[in-house]
A and B are shown apart, each in its own frame.
Chain A
């Protein structure tokens, strides 16, 4: 075999390997059980720029394989102008394919959102800055981390205390733990929320604000995710520490989540469709008071 022929063979082989990797990387890494609860997570998305549309298109592509029925939004859902045209350009247009298929969005608000948009019907907030809803064995708590008053804390405590569901999932904008270099952990919010989360057995927490994806090692028994890169990105902004389980800050991303019984499976997909993180979390039965 001459040298030219060997080069061709090697090139072909490399192309086949990369094509295979690209196809398998776009594959679903979740069980997609028929009766499981399936949802997606996006944060800091609403720029109205083409990367947001790319992420939204990728979500629609995965929806065909993994029919999630809801998307939770971690705040900064609309950047800049907050009028009706902005809501179209930065929300209903990019996610049109999902909205058309009946996927419901449940928003929490970030510091860039207009509080008046809690009344936007497609965000299902019921006009409230914090609210709760349940499906099967899961109760979601969408919280307001921008301004935390005693009323919200009392409401949260009562809600967590009375919740009968096996899974308690909280989501809001400012991360209690984050290795994002720009913002990092919001300690002032952590000292308010965390004691309640620990006392009443919250399992998983999602937050945004830092424009990266990060999964943290469990903190006081709670699994924390940061997803603030569904429309914004701060490349290379992660300052890895002992609490970093996995981080991705090279492209935008969203999270797919499936809960079946006591198991939560997650898959993090980049703007190009590559799986950048995946895994399972077993529900720890903790003594919720």
Chain B
């Protein structure tokens, strides 16, 4: 019985939450990788750091490309009829809230770094933007179940991370940048992807090996982090007519290219996430400075920014989704304080190896406490599962 068999898929869907296998894999692979890394780094640090430094490029610059591709797949599908991003009006308020969250997070981060006088951390400010999309989704589903607050939170998270990724790309060039060569190659890559789509090519391998590889080199040579290589390519994959929802299991009978791509890559990405946790989450508990708290402090400021920006946007004429009031918005803001994988990624993208990066990594891991904060706030405000 294969893992793609409808019977297996339906059983998996019954496991919990009725979320996609991708999210369930995330729930297992990442914590295992992180816990192993923590244990290893604090018992045999020499061998751990030798391993981590040797594999960083392979995992953070190549492997993670496919994780971002699966996230892009979700976003691309959300623009289809029935998807959360199908009309710009539905996305406007979460985008505005995300901008508020990003601005206040960065301000809190920089103010805290200035306060504790760890000036070397200033260069890592982009990590303050990061919201962990799958992590938030899991917590939001546990609190709200099926509720309009969940897609609202996902759109908000995607927007904040998109701002962060744009900042990484623009502010922090990788290596010796050759922007002209990068732009030229990217134009060829996107052109090739468009030609494949126009020609009715349905095999996702052709998109990956041709335009995908070109796009990776375009970003690498252009000075942009190559982890985003498949972000401009995945939207060209042939897809279904309607979206079933963000991070929701595709229909068993679906055989469009995007769905086949997700099914094939889910298991390898599970391995990538395990390795990502293993390579990036190993931080010695001993000897960290106050700067470790910069990312958690930024994450605590995020709900304030989200609620404030949403307030401004509502005053300007935008509307909250149905059944989402201020109490739900506060809980959504608290849930969005989880940075985890995205904060780890931004930190490693912005800072070279060394003790400053270790502080940022520990800070990124500590944002997992945002889940507890969200539950506490939901209970306090009697929201979601605590409403009764």
Contact = CB atoms under 8 A, between A and B. Distances in A.
A245 B137 CA distance: 54
A112 interface: yes
Interface stretch (A28-36, A98-106, A142-150, A269-277): A142-150
B119 A192 contact: no
A112 B117 CA distance: 6
Contacts, number: 75
Contact of A111 (B118, B284, B352): B118
B43 to A, nearest CB: 12
A115 interface: yes
Interface in B289-314: 289, 291
Given A187-B45, A191-B53, A192-B53, A115 B356 contact: no
B356 A188 contact: no
Query: Chain A interface: which size bin?
Result: 20 to 34
A145 B119 contact: no
B353 interface: yes
B50 interface: yes
- What bracket does the count of chain B residues touching chain A fall in? 20 to 34
Contacts of B258: none
A110 B118 CA distance: 9
Contact of B355 (A115, A174, A182): A174
B353 A146 contact: no
Contacts of A184: 286-287
Contacts of B354: 145-148, 174, 188-189
Contacts of B287: 182-184, 186
A157 interface: no
Contact of A186 (B118, B121, B351, B355): B355
A80 interface: yes
A273 B248 CA distance: 71
A115 B120 contact: yes
A192 B357 CA distance: 14
Given A110-B120, A111-B355, A191-B50, 12 more contacts: A81-B117, A115-B123, A147-B120, A147-B354, A147-B356, A148-B354, A149-B353, A152-B352, A183-B286, A186-B355, A187-B284, A191-B46
Interface of B: 45-46, 49-50, 53, 117-121, 123, 284, 286-287, 289, 291, 351-358
Interface of A: 79-82, 109-115, 145-149, 152, 174, 182-184, 186-192
